[in-house]
Structure 1
Amino acid sequence: MQSPLTAFATYCENQGIERVDELTTDDLRDYGLELRSASIDGDIAGSTANTYFRYIRAFLSFCVRDGKLDTNPADTEAAEEFLPEDTPTRDTQFWEPDQRKRLLEYADERVRMARDETIDTPLERAYRDRTIVVLLAELGLRGAELFRDPNDDARDGLQWGDVDLANGRLEVFGKSREYETVGLTRDAQDALERLQRVQDPPTDEWPLFPTDHAASKYDAVETATGERPPTGTDIDAVCREQRIAPSSITKEAGRQILKQLTAEAGIELTGDADYLQPHGARRALGAELYKQGHSELAQSALRHSSIETTHEAYSDIKAEDIAKSIDEVRE
């Protein structure tokens, strides 16, 4: 229960809630909406969102028994109003091999067009977007591990200090709410090296995927110096000269980038999804490894806490393999 309860505590802190006896049913309903958003984004299953909420409700029931609360604000129908449907993610979208190939090809093509100035996209931004696609496709990272989460102070997006190109690895703040090491594939290493050359980050605190939002950069400078630069200032130059790192793009901005690239690449989709979602790349990587019989490698690549978690995530593939084995024995 540690991870979901810690996430709830962080949410409460961000909302200015310091004690359990300050919690109301409205607060729990709002958190249910946060869990629903995470489910829609593909970060967690609907069933997982409901499990997390049950953990919180159980903790608050303990607080009632221990005399810290008069009643449990999570134990009401109103508190559960916005929770997603409690169903597993058997139909979770994932990147088909041809979709993955097309998206990577288009990301490369977009860099070339930006270099030739045949599109109105800055070269650094094209490399940034290409690197996002490559890291998702190659490493199966979660969106929350790549981008900033405005509702979680611990998730401020990947920074160059998290990347160790010399040893081919990076550190991410994982779902466990601990830093986890991820090895870089050749393509991921190449993408990061190219982005670093183009971006030339002036400090290790510089984000891999800095925001394009000018007001946020003005805010960063004002916070660091105590003075807000005059309107019209070359704010990017100021940030670099004074080594003031801008904020990373948010998870929502990351999703918008993938929506744009999916549409521009002309990728055809099936089901309800209207773009290639970040979590779809993670699921596709696991499925590729699992189908080839490398279940333990899939567990390691996805950083699942146990092999049982991996088997559960790909139980549909496991069922197909069992059926094929039965056929082979009978033949």
Structure 2
Amino acid sequence: MRPPLEDFAEYCVSQGIDAVDELTDDDLRDYGLELRTEYIDNEIAGSTANTYFRYIRAFLSFCVRDGKLDTNPADTEAAEEFLPEDTPTRDTQFWTPEQRKQLIAYADERISMAREETISVSLERAYRDRTIVVLLAELGLRGAECFRDPNDNHRDGLTWGDVDLEHGRLEVFGKSRKYETVGLTEAAHGALARLERIQEPPISEWPLFPTGHTASKYQAVEDATGDRPATGTDIDAVCREKQVAPPSITKEAGRQILKQLTHEAGIELEGDADYLQPHGARRALGAELYKKGHSELAQSALRHSSIETTHEAYSDIKAEDVAESIDEVRE
């Protein structure tokens, strides 16, 4: 129970809740929505979300018995309102090595087409989209760690201030709701270095993946300066001149980019998914490391709080390994 209870405690601290007797069923409903978001992002199954919530409800029941609470705020219909359906299994997508290579190869080709102006995509955007693919595939980042979440004020998307190319590392606001350090692989380092040369960010707050939504840029300038630029202004130039960072793309926009690239690359998919989802890259990285016997490396790469979490995530691979070992012994 420890990892999900620690996650809940950290969530409470982030919301300014310092003691269990401050909790209400609204707080538990909001946390249920957090779990639902992880389910939507393919980070956990519906059954896992409900199991975690049951752990929290059991802990709060103990607090009632121990006299620290009058009633259990998790034991109400309102508290469970946003929990996903408690399904025992759910198809989980993995990017296959072939799919990963095909997607990166197309992202490379798209840069060439943008440079030759044979597609209506700017060179900067083509580099931006390629970097998204590479960071997901190479580092196993979560979509919520890369992109802006309109429902979470702490998740504004990655900025250049989070990147340290000299030391080869990246700071992300992790699932733990703390900043976590991620080492850059050679491919990830190269992708970021090229994006920086093309983008030339004027300030450290500049997002790695800025939005292309013009109205959002106008609003950012108005919020920062108090003046709204005239319609028809080169808003990108204004942002640079006044050193106003445009918003990062949202998680949904990130998914739409991957959907577009998947379809344009002609990648064949299995199951119900109609595109290569962000979390599929993360699970694929962990599965590749885990299957080769590097479970602790998988734990570190995915930044799991415990090795038990890693074993649980790849229990199917562990079962296959056990079966193969039995066959080998009997031979």
TM-score, shorter chain, exceeding 0.5:
yes
Identity of aligned residues (%): 81
Report the AA paired with residue 246 of structure 1: P
Whole-angstrom CA distance in 2 between matches of 1:255 and 1:157 = 14
**2:92 matches 1:92:** yes
Question: Shift of residue 56 of structure 1?
Answer: 5.6
C-alpha contact (below 8 Å) 2:142/2:278 kept by paired residues: yes
User: Helix, strand or coil: the match of 1:106?
Assistant: helix
Deviation at 1:264, TM superposition (A): 1.1
CA distance in 2, matches of 1:133, 1:37: 21
Alpha-carbon distance, 1:322 to partner: 1.5
2:313 corresponds to? 313
Distance in structure 1 (CA, Å) of the matches to 2:306 and 2:69? 36
The 8 Å contact of residues 139 and 301 in structure 2, kept in 1 or not, is answered as yes
Given candidates 7, 17, 21, the residue that maps to 2:11 is 7
Cα distance in 1 between the residues matched to 2:189 and 2:153: 28
How far has the Cα of 1:24 moved from its partner?
Answer: 7.6
Q: Deviations over 1:167-190 (max 9, x none)?
A: 111111111111111111111111
User: CA separation in 2, counterparts of 1:225 and 1:66?
Assistant: 53
| Higher mean C-alpha deviation, range 58-67 or range 264-273 | 58-67
Whichever residue aligns with residue 141 of structure 2, its letter is: L
Distance 2:29 2:7 in 1: 20
Q: 1:126 offset after TM fit, Å? A: 0.8
Relative to 1, partners in 2 of residues 1:248 and 1:62: Cα closer, same or farther, differing over 3 Å? Answer: farther
Q: Answer yes or no: is the 8 Å Cα contact 1:4–1:52 preserved in 2.
A: no
1:275 aligns to what SS in structure 2?
coil
Deviation at 1:76, TM superposition (A): 2.6
Q: Please tell me whether the aligned partners of residues 5 and 56 of structure 1 are also in contact (alpha carbons under 8 angstroms).
A: no
User: What's the offset of the Cα at 1:109?
Assistant: 1.0
Deviation readout 1:152-201 (Å, 9 max, x if unpaired) = 11111111011111111111111111111111111111100110010000
Contiguous gaps of at least 5 residues in structure 1: 14-18
In the superposition, the TM-score normalised over structure 2's length comes to: 0.88
In the other structure, the counterpart of 1:294 is: 294
Alpha carbons of structure 1 residues 123 and 228: separation in structure 2 relative to 1, 3 Å? same
* Count of residue pairs brought into register by the alignment: 327
Partners of 2:159 and 2:249 in 1: how far apart? 11
Listed as ranges, the matches of 1:40-119 within 5 Å are 40-54=40-54, 57=57, 74-87=74-87, 91-119=91-119
CA displacement 1:96-147 (0-9 Å, x = unmatched): 1111111111111111111110000111111101000000000101111111
Tell me the equivalent position of 1:276.
Answer: 276
- Measured in 2, the distance between the counterparts of 1:256 and 1:159 equals 20
Letter in structure 1 aligned against 2:7: S
Greater Cα offset, 20-29 or 250-259: 20-29
Residue type at the aligned position of 1:188 = A
Single out whichever of 258-267 and 88-97 deviates more from structure 2.
88-97
What residue is the counterpart of 1:248 in the other structure? 248
Stretch moving more, 27-36 or 88-97: 27-36
Letter in 2 for 1:83: L
Cα deviation 1:86-105 (Å, max 9, x = unaligned): 34666311111111111111
Residues 136-285 of structure 1 correspond to what in structure 2 (within 5 A)?
136-285=136-285
> Shift in Å at residue 53 of structure 1?
3.3
SS at match of 1:102: helix
- Work out the CA distance in 2 between the residues paired with 1:283 and 1:147: 18
1:53 partner letter? F
Cα drift, residue 221 of structure 1: 1.0
Counterpart position of 1:16? none
The SS at the match of 1:131 is: helix
Deviation at 1:51, TM superposition (A): 3.8
Note the residue ranges of structure 2 that are not aligned, 5 or more in a row.
Answer: none
Which stretch of structure 1 is more off in the superposition, 254-263 or 320-329? 320-329
